[in-house]
Structure 1
C-alpha cells in the first residue's frame, strides 16, 4: 500500500481496519454476531456505512461473507485467520479505553478459558520481559547504521 510520510505497517493496517465502524463490526463478529442486522444494531452504524466497511473487510480477507438464506438472499460474516489475529488489538483497545477514557468500571469484561478475567500483557517474545515505552526503539530494515 502506498502511504505518504513514513513507510509503516501501522499505516497500512489502518487503511484496512482504521475506521470506527470497521473495528466495531469486528468486535461484534468476534463476539459471535454474524448477521448484518444484528451487527448494525449493536454498533449503531448506519446501514450504508456498515455495508461499505464490511465489504472492505471482506475484500481485504479479514472477513468471509457466506450466504445462509436464498429467498431473499441473506449473508453472514465470518472471521478469517486475519480477523482472529486482530483479537489482541481489540482487547488492547478495550483495556486502554477502560483505563484512560471511561469514567467508572468497564461495561464488558472478558474471561479467559481458565475462568479468570482476561487482561492482556505485552511481553517480548524473545526474553519474556514486559514491553514498555522506554528501552523500545525502531530499526529500519536494510539500513546500516
Structure 2
C-alpha cells in the first residue's frame, strides 16, 4: 500500500526545483493544502500564510532546502526531539514537516497554536504520518495540486 501526496509547490520549469514539496492526503483530504486555502480567505491570516508559503518556495528552489531555516530556532526547529519532524513558524501558524535524502519535503500538518507544545494526539499523528511515509517510500501516488479537489 502506498501513500497519497499532493504537490504543494510546482514550477513551470521543474528542472529549477531543487526539492519536491508535498502535503499528505488522508481520507481524500490534504489538511495542509486545505488550511492554506482557508487562511487565504481571511484577510488577517493571509499575510502569515503567505509568509509560510514563501518559505516553502525558498525550500523548493534552494539546494539547501529545509536547512535554510533550521539554523534559526525561532523560525524552524525539530518539533519532536529525535524524530526528524520539524516546525516552521510564523506568529501562531505552525507548519510541521519532515524530509528525506531524495530532496523530498513532506508537509504533514498546519496548525494555529498559541503555544509551541504539541498535544499527545498531535505528536502521535505526526509520528504516524512519518512512519507511514518511511514504510512506503517511493510507493506513493502524486496528485497535481490543480487536480486536487476536482474529483
TM-score normalised to structure 1 length: 0.24
Greater fraction strand: 2
- Which of 1 and 2 has greater Rg? 1
